A and B are shown apart, each in its own frame.
Chain A
Amino acid sequence: MDERPHKAHRPAQSGAKAEKKAKGKEKQKGFNEKAFAPKSGRRAERQGRRNVERDQTRLHVPLVNRTPDDTPPPVIVAVVGPPGVGKTTLLKSLVRRYTKQTLNDVKGPITVVSGKNKRLTFIECNNDLSSMIDIGKIADLVLLTIDGSFGFEMETFEFLNVLQSHGFPKVIGVLTHLDLIKKAATLRATKKALKKRFWTEIYQGAKLFYLSGVLNGRYPDTEILNLSRFISVMKFRPLIFRNTHPYLLADRLEDLTPRETIRASNGKTDRTITLYGYLRGTNYRSGMSVHVPGVGDLRVKSVEVLGDPCPLPTEESEKRRRLSEKRKLVVHAPMSDVGGVTYDKDAVWINVPGSFTRGNADVPQGEGEQMVLDLQDAGETLDDAVAKSQIRLFGSSSRPITVTPGEDDDSEVGYDDEEGSELEDDEEGSELDEDEDGEGSGVEDVDGEEWAEDEEGQPHDRGRSGPRRGMRTIGSLPSVDPKRGDVEYAESDSDMGELDGDAAQRRVTFADEKVDFEAEDEDRVSGEEREEEGVPRWKENLSMQAAKEFSSRRKQSKDWMKLIYATSLSSEAILRDEPSQSPSDNGQDEERGDDEELFTIKTKSALVGDVEDMDMTKERVNEEELKRWEDEELLENLRRCFITGGAQGDEDAGAGGEGDDGYEDLEGGDFEDLEATGNSGEPDEGDPEAKKAVELAKKKELLKRKFDEQYDDPESAKMDFYEEKKDEMARQLQLNKEEFEGVDAASRALVEGYRPGTYVRLELADVPCEFVEHFDPHYPIVVGGLLPSEERFGYVQVRIKRHRWYAKTLKTNDPLILSVGWRRFQTVPIYSLDDHSIRMRMLKYTPEHMHCYATFYGPVSAPNTGFCAFNSLSSHVAGFRVSATGVVLDIDRSVKIVKKLKLTGVPYKIFKNTAFIRNMFNTSLEVAKFEGANVKTVSGIRGQIKKALSKPEGAFRATFEDKVLMSDLVFLRAWYSIQPRKFYNPVTSLLLSDKSHWIGMRLTGEVRRVQGLHAPINADSTYKPVERPARRFNTLKIPRKLQANLPYASKPKLMKPQHKQTYMQKRAVVFEPEEKKAIALLQQIRALRKDQVARRKEKQGERKKARKKKAEKEESRKVEKDREKRKEVMRIAGIKSKRETEREEGGGSRKRRKT
């Protein structure tokens, strides 16, 4: 590497050359147009085309990015690679770079702040294929670590294939262990080769990083800095699947199941757990169920938004160009030991350094130490604090609330209590729940108040997140008090208090006015059931109060949202504005009452009742009401709604005043225009003239601008399709952002769900206990939201192609593990091909180098979703594990796959073109089903089934296009439809204690192999020698009469065999004496020759033998030499390895030196 530096160039300072240079420089000032002008028309054309093509490469299908850009969720950076490649070292180095902290134990996701508006979540992926699949589905950026000294490994390629089928996130390659390559030339060659391979796998020019060696247990700081710069400038294109599903990477797990339940069931009860993490993807709607890969489909009990544990820098720190040092230190990694604190599933572990004494202020304290110190500060027990605390519901309440022990607290509180008592360290227990409270509310509060908030706030919260149903509906009560609805309404009003500003206001006044009801209020709080049975005193008053409240509010406007979603008033009652008028006003009982009571008295309203019975779209016309349209004034009044009546009314749309003109304008005007007119409507109602003038001016301004734009640059005015689409999306995003800007968090969550980027706590119910018991933070927990359609099951048809690196073909009805959407499951597919668009024909095996269809039973996922398939997830499998990839095509509840079925029969009686066939069917009923079907003989004569014969059951008459032979087989080609087996087996790898050894359904052969059994032998299937009796063909006999009439060419020309000897056979040969002599001589010569050859051969054999002997000798000597050599090599290697082990044993922690 260290080559001698070249001699630096010294430009000439004087002389001709210097002058020329100076002149040249002068010339080159500015942009030389000529230099880039094409010389010829052809070149101009080429250049133009190239430019256009280059422009086109810039274009991608515009996709909407659904993650909010103000507080985006942290980018998930996954570090993936085979074991021992340096993943943990890389992760530690990166965390160190961002937070200046060194982690000892890297477990679970680690979130850090990396820039002014960027956070990163690092996660290390272990070598388990299931983890790789899960990580591949959520990672935004993959740092693919590759051992430079070894090269690519199978896992790397498997991972890349998994990525490919689930939308390709960004990948940066990181080459490590490059210091092991000593020679510079080898290093260069290795780098080049690896880069080439990497580029073919990903794309030409994919970024590959080289990390040279390890210093102090980390990679060199400059290299890590460079890598972090690359990470920070990375732009991410939204991936379609993630842009349609909410998901979460859990960074903390907590078991909320009451200890007692667990104990009682020996730890086998289903658990209630909470998972913490940042929401990603799209908005999470309440009520959406989720899938946790490796566990299964789970129901989310509640979602709680928590304070951001790793917040982005705020406004005031943003004034600085760089991220402040303080911000840099923010790291959130509950599963790792940041600051000596580790959050486990049911405990918080605090590691303190060896000498831990109080009052040692000069030693910097970690988070954990601070926690312990705070705990030691506690003066009184929790019980005391609760007893002392005074909670009053209203500001004017005279008595505080007392907590009676009989009241059932919510589960979390109860759990905490027990937790505290169960742990031998009392302090740690209370610490735990203090910590929880802090996390939950984000505000440090006095303990007691916190408790109270919990009590009151919990049901209220739950009501918000789940669909509000049946808790206290009016409909559930058999006889409804007329005022009852009122009361309910008022209560739910206060429940939904945060919906808008004036509602909250109302609540305050409500509380103020009823000072005298204070005592009763407490009753209500402490015993909810009481109000169901007896009618408490305060009730009538309250309802009156509420009615008053209601009427005063009515004057303003209706809050439709609240009325519709938060009350259980019937729709008629909502419309009538009065919560309840008549006793039978709400619910469905009303109609019945109406019908019975009013039918005889008032025909009209009875009719109304009848109408509602019918579920009809058109409302019954009320002719009385229509009478009002006889009024001339009213008719005139409506003119404002027509384009002809613009002069009078202009409250909503400003246009229309000038008849056609205005109308045209309005049609042409787009979104901005709308806004403009909307604004113009608002400001002043004072002077219509002035207003008109202002409007006119505005319109003129707009027109002028438009004209200017078009006149100056007609090209820019009209956007191309791409620009238009992008503009449209931007506008829609803007609208999305603005629509719910001012709405408070609770109702915003109700309408649009929880937005990505928020840190939430998901409470999951009925989680298998093994998930908690065998929890291992090294395995990622992904929570993927399911769309309603994805919870259903059905037959899924996919296009599939066996992976070219997978060694075997895939067989129909063999179990296959698929990774589709969030799920990983085992199922049994049936492969098929489209047969001339007529039928779907089953294939026994997947074709080579070709796509085919596969149909399986399983959870539905949207068409166009990619998937990959595996035959085994086990790490013991040699060879490539991704067995197939493909895409979902179709979803249905039934399948139409057929396989060929050939029925054969034999003729037993033949007429001219008709034959009786048997042995094809067993009954005449079967024949009847196939009447008219086409049959064919082996020799190719086509025919048709006519009718069943009565005598041998199942025989039938068939006609053929020619006479068939008795020896011919007749067969019928039919299609037999088959159904895929309804087998769905989710890969529940996270429930195992040994997570990488999941075993699904096995093949029969595998089971037999394990049990040491042989395949059963079917006697009919064994091969036997085929016995074919020789066929005798009768001679062709042509009647003499016919023969006589035949032309000569057609006559049979068979002749008798010759009996007489021919001349050649019967002649006698006599030699002349000379001839005899010549023959004798020749014989002698031949004999001599023969002898000579034999002797020569003998000699040759001897020579060969000698040579062979010699060669053998040589060979044996060579082998001996070789053995010696090998022995020597092994000896040296043995010494080397021995030394190495000695060195490692001696200095285990010593790091590899950079060479």
Chain B
Amino acid sequence: MALSGTALHFSTHQYLRHRLVLSVLSGKPVKIDKIRPEDKNPGLRDYEVSLLRLLEKVTNGTVIEISYTGTAVLLKPGVISGGSVIHECPPSRSIGYFLEAVIMLAPFAKSPFQLTLRGITTDDRDLSVDLIRTVTLPHLQLFGVSDGLELRIKKRGSPPGGGGEIQFLCPIVKQVKTLNFVDQGKIKRIRGIAHAVRVSPQFSNRMIEASRSVLNRYIPDIYLYSDVYKGQESGKSPGYALSLLAESTTGALHCSEAVSQPGVAPEDIALIATRSLLSEIQKGGCVDGKHQSLVLLMMVLGSEDVGRCRMGEPTPRTIQFLRDVKEFFGTSFKIVPANPSEPTSGGLLFSCYGTGYMNINRSIA
């Protein structure tokens, strides 16, 4: 009589990560096929396989079946167990790729997470560990996941060599709080971290200078930290990056980041980071574009109340995410312009009715 045998069906390698996460959270089996069938190198990439391995490690009872060609995956999720897990991330993707997925799962585990990830800490594709620490984790705090939430950067590792290490600690919750975040406020402070490994420490100072030259005009409350890791803690490859975050009076966070590229001066890197921060601020909303899906997911998983959040335009990832959330949880969002008087600007108001998701993995007594 059990109905759980029916798997949801998806195609292509795109959005693999959040589909897997949603599957684990909702407990519905998922089958993903047509993963790069026409590619020279068909099937799952090494980092995707590594992600599946990580999911297997942090859960109990998960069954993962990868087809012979690697172009199809069947995931029958188990319970999220948490605890202390160590995982080596392949050099093809940074730690952020894995950590973003784990962050969505971590509050609903059986025991608090103590995850150690080794690999590249900062690259130009995924959120760097700095941004995760300073921006993503505060977003979780909006939902009541706060005590003991920590990300420790033990070692930094730049691409291509990597060699960084982080430790992610996350408490567990019974249920996430309902979000009601409609006031985006005004930017009151800007923080930033300029880090440099295996290059001249002067590089970070140069980035800070350049960034300040643009931002100083707005507010005086700007602190950009120079963070230089040396010796054993600096990984295997040289690199530097600047991550910026702007906080509003109501606690809305916007962030941006730029990573060193060969042949580009640190000043230019800083300018890229700064300008993308400005465009992020211009987009408005209470939630940064990179964290839309995280916030929306947590809203869906909230108690059976209306959660509201104001955001900028949804990114393509977010749009697909919304559709997938509907598949998995049956929840759709009400999306209306935040200002009915001028619909084109002022952001969108996302509101949804939470599913009342409880952390049933958590054991009592």
Chain A contacts to B: CB under 8 angstroms: 64, 66, 244, 282-283, 285-289, 296-297, 299, 467, 469, 556-557, 560-561, 564-565, 570-572, 574-575, 588, 592, 612-621, 623, 625-626, 629, 635, 638-639, 641-646, 651-653, 655-656, 663, 666-667, 674, 682, 732-733, 735-736, 739-740, 743, 747, 750-753, 787-789, 791-794, 797, 799, 859-864, 889-894, 986
Residues of A near B304 (CB, < 8 A) are 66, 244, 282-283
CB of B319 within 8 A of CB of A575, answer yes
Question: Which of A645, A652, A860, A890 has the most chain B CB atoms inside 10 A of its CB?
Answer: A652
Closest chain B CB from A301 CB (angstroms): 13
**Cα A626 to Cα B127 with chains together (Å):** 19
Task: Point out the residue from A613, A639, A652 that lies within 8 Å of B184, measured CB to CB.
Answer: A652
Closest chain A CB from B247 CB (angstroms): 11
Of B10-18, B82-90, B202-210, B227-235, the stretch lying at the interface with chain A is B10-18
Residues of A near B323 (CB, < 8 A) are 564-565
Task: Point out the residue from B3, B217, B356 that lies within 8 Å of A297, measured CB to CB.
Answer: B3
Of residues 297 through 313 on chain B, the ones whose CB sits less than 8 Å from some CB of chain A are 303-306, 308, 313
Closest chain A CB from B55 CB (angstroms): 14
In the complex with contacts A297-B2, A467-B330, A859-B2, A612-B14 CB distance below 8 A: yes
Task: Point out the residue from B96, B97, B186 that lies within 8 Å of A653, measured CB to CB.
Answer: B186
Task: Point out the residue from A616, A642, A787, A861 that lies within 8 Å of B187, measured CB to CB.
Answer: A642
Residues of B near A557 (CB, < 8 A) are 337, 343-344
Of B112-120, B142-150, B158-166, B273-281, the stretch lying at the interface with chain A is B273-281
Residues of B near A753 (CB, < 8 A) are 353
Question: Which of B3, B281, B282, B323 has the most chain A CB atoms inside 10 A of its CB?
Answer: B3
Residues of A near B219 (CB, < 8 A) are 642-644
Top-5 shortest CB links A-B: A893-B61, A557-B343, A890-B363, A571-B319, A296-B1
CB of B126 within 8 A of CB of A621, answer no
B352 CB–A CB distance under 8 Å: yes
Task: Point out the residue from A592, A653, A863 that lies within 8 Å of B38, measured CB to CB.
Answer: A592
In the complex with contacts A575-B316, A863-B364, A891-B360, A736-B334 CB distance below 8 A: no
Closest chain A CB from B60 CB (angstroms): 5
Task: Point out the residue from A572, A615, A794, A890 that lies within 8 Å of B61, measured CB to CB.
Answer: A794
CB of B249 within 8 A of CB of A666, answer yes
CB of A739 within 8 A of CB of B185, answer no
Nearest chain A residue, comparing its CB with the CB of B254: A641
Task: Point out the residue from B178, B187, B272 that lies within 8 Å of A732, measured CB to CB.
Answer: B178
**Cα A861 to Cα B353 with chains together (Å):** 22
Nearest chain A residue, comparing its CB with the CB of B18: A615
Of residues 49 through 76 on chain B, the ones whose CB sits less than 8 Å from some CB of chain A are 60-61
**Cα A861 to Cα B364 with chains together (Å):** 13
CB of A621 within 8 A of CB of B330, answer no
CB of A629 within 8 A of CB of B361, answer no
**Cα A282 to Cα B355 with chains together (Å):** 10
**Cα A862 to Cα B365 with chains together (Å):** 14
Residues of B near A282 (CB, < 8 A) are 304, 356
Closest chain B CB from A303 CB (angstroms): 12
**10 sampled A-B residue pairs with Cβ under 8 A:** A299-B3, A561-B333, A617-B127, A626-B279, A629-B279, A642-B218, A666-B185, A751-B331, A787-B356, A892-B60
B180 CB–A CB distance under 8 Å: yes
Residues of B near A667 (CB, < 8 A) are 249-250
CB of A615 within 8 A of CB of B127, answer no
Count of B residues near A, CB < 8 Å? 102
In the complex with contacts A592-B38, A753-B353, A789-B360, A618-B278 CB distance below 8 A: no
CB of A799 within 8 A of CB of B365, answer yes
Residues of B near A560 (CB, < 8 A) are 314, 335-336, 348
Closest chain B CB from A74 CB (angstroms): 21
Given contacts A751-B333, A791-B27, 7 further A-B contacts (CB under 8 A): A564-B319, A571-B319, A618-B257, A635-B217, A638-B281, A643-B188, A735-B305
**Cα A733 to Cα B304 with chains together (Å):** 10
Residues of A near B314 (CB, < 8 A) are 560, 564, 571, 575
CB of B330 within 8 A of CB of A789, answer no
Chain B contacts to A: CB under 8 angstroms: 1-4, 11-17, 26-28, 38, 60-61, 78-79, 81, 96-97, 100, 110, 124-127, 178, 180, 182-188, 214, 217-219, 249-250, 257-258, 271-272, 275-276, 278-279, 281-282, 284, 289-290, 303-306, 308, 313-320, 322-323, 326-327, 329-339, 341-344, 346, 348, 351-353, 355-356, 358, 360-365
CB of A652 within 8 A of CB of B334, answer no
Residues of B near A642 (CB, < 8 A) are 186-188, 218-219
Nearest chain A residue, comparing its CB with the CB of B132: A617
Residues of A near B2 (CB, < 8 A) are 297, 791, 793, 859
CB of A572 within 8 A of CB of B316, answer yes
**Cα A1039 to Cα B343 with chains together (Å):** 113
Closest chain B CB from A1114 CB (angstroms): 68
**Cα A456 to Cα B360 with chains together (Å):** 43
Residues of A near B352 (CB, < 8 A) are 751
**Cα A724 to Cα B124 with chains together (Å):** 46
Residues of B near A792 (CB, < 8 A) are 4, 27
Residues of B near A743 (CB, < 8 A) are 334
**Cα A400 to Cα B196 with chains together (Å):** 76
CB of A285 within 8 A of CB of B305, answer no
CB of B282 within 8 A of CB of A663, answer no
In the complex with contacts A297-B3, A615-B13, A618-B125, A653-B308 CB distance below 8 A: no
Question: Which of B182, B249, B320 has the most chain A CB atoms inside 10 A of its CB?
Answer: B249
CB of B16 within 8 A of CB of A641, answer no
Residues of A near B315 (CB, < 8 A) are 571, 575, 619
Residues of A near B341 (CB, < 8 A) are 682
**Cα A893 to Cα B110 with chains together (Å):** 12
Residues of B near A467 (CB, < 8 A) are 326-327, 330
CB of B79 within 8 A of CB of A893, answer yes
CB of A674 within 8 A of CB of B79, answer no
CB of A893 within 8 A of CB of B339, answer no
**Cα A229 to Cα B189 with chains together (Å):** 62
Closest chain A CB from B260 CB (angstroms): 13
**Cα A739 to Cα B178 with chains together (Å):** 14
CB of B364 within 8 A of CB of A638, answer no
Task: Point out the residue from A619, A629, A682, A733 that lies within 8 Å of B278, measured CB to CB.
Answer: A629
Closest chain A CB from B353 CB (angstroms): 4
**Cα A47 to Cα B272 with chains together (Å):** 71
CB of A663 within 8 A of CB of B183, answer no
Closest chain B CB from A938 CB (angstroms): 38
Closest chain B CB from A689 CB (angstroms): 21
CB of B3 within 8 A of CB of A791, answer yes
CB of A646 within 8 A of CB of B15, answer no
Residues of B near A863 (CB, < 8 A) are 360, 362-364
Task: Point out the residue from A297, A629, A736 that lies within 8 Å of B305, measured CB to CB.
Answer: A736
CB of A561 within 8 A of CB of B334, answer yes
**Cα A556 to Cα B340 with chains together (Å):** 11
CB of A286 within 8 A of CB of B61, answer no
Task: Point out the residue from B126, B275, B330, B348 that lies within 8 Å of A616, measured CB to CB.
Answer: B126
CB of A643 within 8 A of CB of B186, answer yes
Question: Which of B26, B323, B336, B353 has the most chain A CB atoms inside 10 A of its CB?
Answer: B353
Closest chain B CB from A1118 CB (angstroms): 65
**Cα A623 to Cα B271 with chains together (Å):** 10
Nearest chain A residue, comparing its CB with the CB of B182: A674
CB of A614 within 8 A of CB of B61, answer no
CB of B334 within 8 A of CB of A889, answer no
Residues of A near B339 (CB, < 8 A) are 651-652
CB of B332 within 8 A of CB of A750, answer yes
**Cα A682 to Cα B14 with chains together (Å):** 42
CB of B360 within 8 A of CB of A862, answer yes
